[in-house]
């Protein structure tokens, strides 16, 4: 699949942001069969797991640093996956990526098969 994330921008601390990822199927495989994940990478830091959702949308899980502030959702009919981030902090500043996993889902970036180019989120104080 091909992935394109959008929705990043500059937001004040305490605010909210909603990121979207458009998933384009290729090779005859439907979008709905992938677990979709969100990761982020701040300058000089390793890529970090944010959250993921299974292909039916029935199960979501989140990284420790965003749990309670992040919500991942998907609309397979529209081939989109979203990440809602609330109560944003300066440390949430990063390049956010969506990724697709043809397996059962994981918090490990190495398990994901396809990646989008990322969208930048900057949180100011």
Transcribe 81-92 into DSSP letters. Answer: EEEEE-S--GGG
Q: Name residue 36's beta-bridge partners.
A: 53, 100
- Residue 27: is its pLDDT beyond 80? no
Residue 31 pLDDT > 90, yes or no? no
Residue 43: other Cβ atoms inside 10 A: 7
pLDDT band (50, 70, 90) for residue 17 = very high
Q: Are strands 80-85 and 17-24 parallel, antiparallel or unpaired?
A: antiparallel
Beta strands in the chain (DSSP E): 2-6, 9-12, 17-24, 35-41, 48-53, 60-62, 70-75, 80-85, 94-101, 114-115, 119-124
Q: How confident is the model at residue 115 (pLDDT cuts 50, 70, 90)?
A: very high
């Amino acid at each position: 699949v091909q992935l394109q994330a959008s929705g990043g921008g500059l937001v004040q601390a305490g605010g909210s942001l909603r990121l979207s990822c458009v998933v384009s199927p290729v090779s005859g495989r439907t979008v709905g069969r992938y677990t979709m994940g969100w990761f982020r990478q701040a300058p000089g830091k390793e890529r970090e797991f944010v959250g993921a959702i299974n292909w039916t949308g029935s199960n979501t899980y989140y990284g420790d640093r965003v749990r309670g502030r992040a919500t991942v959702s998907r609309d397979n009919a529209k081939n989109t996956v979203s990440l809602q981030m609330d109560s944003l902090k300066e440390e949430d500043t990063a390049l956010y990526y969506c990724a697709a996993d043809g397996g059962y889902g994981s918090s490990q970036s190495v398990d994901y098969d396809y990646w989008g180019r990322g969208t930048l989120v900057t949180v100011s104080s």
